Amino acid sequence: MTLLAVENVTRRYRLPRRALLKPPAVLTAVDAASFTLERGRTLGIVGESGSGKSTLARMVMAFEKPDAGRVLFEGNDLAALSPTKLRSLRPHFQLVFQDPYGSLNPRRTVGWSIAEPLRATGQADRNRVSEALDQVGLRPADAERYPHEFSGGQRQRVAIARAIVTRPSLLVADEAVSALDMSVQAQILNLLMDLQDELGLAILFISHDLSVVGSICDSIIVMKHGKIVEYGAAEQIMRVPEKGYTRSLMKAAGLI
Amino acid sequence: MIEASKLTVSLGAGQAVRDVSLLVRPGDRIGVVGESGCGKTMLGLAMIGMTPAAAKVSGSLRLDGAEMVGAGEKSWQALRARRVAMVFQEPMAALNPIKRVGDTVMEPLIVHMGLSRAQARERGLSLFEEVGIPDPEVRFRQFPHEISGGQRQRVLIALALTCDPGLLIADEPTTALDANVALKITELLARLARDRTMALLFISHDLAAVTRATQDMLVMYGGDIVERGKTAAVLSNPRHPYTQGLLSARPRPENVRETDGSRKRLPTIPGAVPPLTDLPAGCRFAGRCPIEMSQCATVRPVEQEGTICHQLEAAT
């Protein structure tokens, strides 16, 4: 079964009212987007800010419901699930945040933060936390330390440990390497590739940087103003980008 | 003309910039690259006399012949904007939110250049045009929050140009911007430097932008300039192990993809940039270097043909 299928998904937001007697304007953040992601594969979504890529991620994570269309995870329509059913499914798809400093509780040990998704499903298992730390290249003893004791790259490892602690089959990485320095970015990209090969994870990799997406993803979606303007095998798109917009993203990434 | 020689910026026991020598001539476009914490920004701040109060600047920095190390804030004020100006990373934070951007740009023209309001307005509008702001008349009356990030960055560039500086220091001017906008701002800065024979110090971690904007480049690590040369030459034939590590760590489809569909791992530099106080006394890159020798951590390498590295010294 296809792991993740996004079918004609649309999400609109009402903008603040500009005039009393006119209806508020509506922004279509995601406009009829469709794609699929198979187990163990990597799909990249690139686009500039405001292109709708993060909105799409939030719908895949079931943080938001689409106004039209369906998000199917292992065949389940996420928006139609009961809260209980959704909670039991959540361990299978997890999010890696962009800014680990903002997403880790500074007053709790990282071990506590990593165990959070486990507690949410009532299975607080210390061994899983140690195992996850080990998988991301940290020591089990690091569980007792606090976020400020880690460097930026290590904090991103902690964020990844938290995302994989429930042994998910899908990881959504929203700008997960964008804030990192060049040499550290390479370390984290390697880690993601290692984890993927070891655990058979599928990754939905969201970034504005086509050099990153073009390197590690099997297929690529290029988004602009909420619409998918290009979707295909990474190799194909990187070799012969169809759209001028894709070409300009390549130029910005220094690829051409 | 600006000449730094053995310029050092100390922060407590650590040195954010160590013995940097640099000559900037009119029209030079110089890129400064390196990771965060390597001293790029501090070097830029030292060259405009804006280092934080806790920092101690030593060595020599000559601005048109005048020695600026040890010079007071008064002497700097007389030169800043006219001789050296700076554009910062975050355009929103650098603009006064309750002032129309036109008034912000007119202020230095009136205060520093002694223009009347009418003259300042005319000059401001022509600067807006020069930096590629559409509908300058309309933009002039708007507040920072009403305009996009790219346009805000253009306003800041116009502001930096008000007093015709000989050197423009741009510190990560494109980092906060979208890819396409960043590309346009990069091209704008390079064009301005060419058209005005103005020197440009382009500080960025974005190698693609540096390639586009500059002729020469400096690679900084741990406060040292570890390599310098023509931008194209450094990028195509990096010699310092740090530069080599940085370039090969860049994700590139050809570096990752194998023909059978599997993926290679990116070569990485082990560890991370240490805090200033933990830097080795010799070569700053010791401890992370793949070709380290026994003396590297303690003995400082000497610059040879634009790079400082014991291995390269030994080879010649």
ipTM: 0.87
Domain boundary among B161, B189, B221: B221
Strand partners, B86: B169
Query: What is the CATH code for A4-252?
Result: 3.40.50.300
Mean pLDDT of B100-125: 94
pLDDT at B161: 95
Share of chain B above pLDDT 90, in %: 78
Is the CB of B250 less than 8 angstroms away from the CB of A211? yes
Q: Do residues B46 and B107 share a domain?
A: yes
How many domains does chain B fold into? 2
What integer best gives the mean pLDDT of chain A? 92
pLDDT at A163: 94
What integer best gives the mean pLDDT of chain B? 93
State the nearest Cα–Cα gap between B172 and chain A, in angstroms: 13
Which of A215, A216, A235, A250 to mutate to test binding with chain B, by most B CBs within 10 Å of its CB? Answer: A215
In a domain, B229, yes or no: no
Q: Do residues B209 and B111 share a domain?
A: yes
In a domain, B232, yes or no: no
Q: Which residue of B has its CA nearest to A212?
A: B251
Q: Provide the token pair at A82.
A: 């009961």
Quote the DSSP letter at residue A41: -
Domain boundary among B221, B253, B283: B221
Parent domain of B167: 2-221
The H-or-E segment that residue B163 falls in is none
Q: Provide the token pair at B51.
A: 């280092």
pLDDT at B169: 97
Does residue A216 belong to the interface with chain B, where contact is any CB pair within 8 Å? yes
Is the CB of B249 less than 8 angstroms away from the CB of A186? yes
Which of B92, B219, B250 to mutate to test binding with chain A, by most A CBs within 10 Å of its CB? Answer: B250
Mean pLDDT of B90-114: 90
Q: Classify burial at B128, counting beta carbons within 10 Å of its beta carbon; exposed 0-12, middle 13-18, buried 19 or more.
A: buried
CATH number of the structural domain spanning residue B163: 3.40.50.300
Characterize the bridge pairing of strands B216-221 and B224-230.
antiparallel
Quote the DSSP letter at residue B263: B
Does residue A229 belong to the interface with chain B, where contact is any CB pair within 8 Å? no
Alpha-carbon radius of gyration of chain A: 19
pLDDT at A219: 96
In a domain, B56, yes or no: yes
In a domain, B228, yes or no: no
Residue B228: pLDDT band (50, 70, 90) is very high
Of the candidates A182, A212, A249, which has its C-beta nearest B246's C-beta?
A182
Mean pLDDT of B253-271: 89
DSSP labels, A141-155: GGGGS-GGGS-HHHH
Q: Do the beta carbons of residue B33 and residue B40 sit within 8 Å?
A: yes
Q: Do residues B105 and B246 share a domain?
A: no
Q: Do residues B250 and B147 share a domain?
A: no
Stated pTM of the model: 0.90
Rounded CA separation B117/B97 (Å): 21
pLDDT at B42: 95
Is the CB of B180 less than 8 angstroms away from the CB of A190? no
pLDDT at A100: 66
Q: Do residues B87 and B9 share a domain?
A: yes
Q: Do residues B196 and B67 share a domain?
A: yes
Stretches where chain A sits below pLDDT 50 are none
Mean pLDDT of B138-147: 94
Q: Do residues B270 and B205 share a domain?
A: no
Rounded CA separation A170/A9 (Å): 19
pLDDT at A182: 86
In a domain, B276, yes or no: yes
Buried/exposed A168-182: b ≥16 CB within 10 Å, e otherwise = bbbbbbbbbbebbbb
Does residue A208 belong to the interface with chain B, where contact is any CB pair within 8 Å? yes
Is the CB of A255 less than 8 angstroms away from the CB of B207? no
Q: Do residues B101 and B202 share a domain?
A: yes
pLDDT in tens, B146-184: 998 889 999 999 999 999 999 999 999 988 788 888 889
